[in-house]
Amino acid sequence: MSIGSKLSELRKKNNYSQEDLAEKLNVTRQTISKWELDETSPDLNSAKQLSIIFQISLDDLVDNDIKNIVVEKVSNTEKLAGIIIDTLKVIGIGFVILIILTIVIIFVFNITQSETPKTTSSVTMACEVADESYLVKFGSDGYFDCKSCNDKMLISLMDFTDWANIDTSIENVNNYFESNGGQCRVMSSEESIPAK
């Protein structure tokens, strides 16, 4: 409905003549007639006065259907909220999957580490021959010590010490002392996981 038709309808509904309405608005009767015929439209101040006289909003006066605008805005807001919720769900699911994968990787790594065979990395042996005691210490890092050994024993023991395989070295030191009428026992040893 045009503003002119709406104005004519409201004027008649409230029992105003064009002259009565013109007088209330401080305009001529011809101005009211032109508005009702849609030849011209009331300015903003006149429209405000008309809304007060007829006790309606400016939107109702100009027949603005703001309900559709509000419904459309609400609908767009709901769509946006739906997209945000879906995005947050995807991010949440991704985060949960990442946590599960991290736990699985840590678990598998720990199992793999616990299954890795440990090797001896250093040993202290107490050996005896001809009523003499010797404390022999050596490690996979190339460390060797036998303070009470003479030079000949040191050279012999160091010659067959296998720094890469301490277990073989223990056997070689045992064999050396046994072949000279003595014996050895391992007093302490440290184990480590071999580097890959």
- Written as six digits, the tokens of 97 are 């999957």
**What is the sign of the dihedral through the CA atoms of 33, 36, 39 and 44?**
positive
pLDDT above 60 for 19: yes
Q: Residue 117: its pLDDT value, please?
A: 56
User: Could you identify the residue written with the tokens 């009702």?
Assistant: 36
Q: pLDDT tens digits, residue range 54-92?
A: 898 888 877 776 666 666 777 888 888 889 999 999 999
The answer to whether 27 and 40 are in contact (CB under 8 A) is no
- Written as six digits, the tokens of 44 are 């903003």
3-state helix, strand, coil in the chain (%, to 5): 60, 15, 25
Question: What is 3-61's CATH number?
Answer: 1.10.260.40
Amino acid identity at 153: M
Q: pLDDT tens digits, residue range 150-191?
A: 888 888 888 878 878 888 888 999 999 999 899 999 988 776
The answer to whether 143 and 122 are in contact (CB under 8 A) is yes
CA atoms of 63 and 60, how far apart (whole Å): 5
**The 144-145 sheet, strands edge to edge:** 144-145, 132-139, 119-129, 183-192
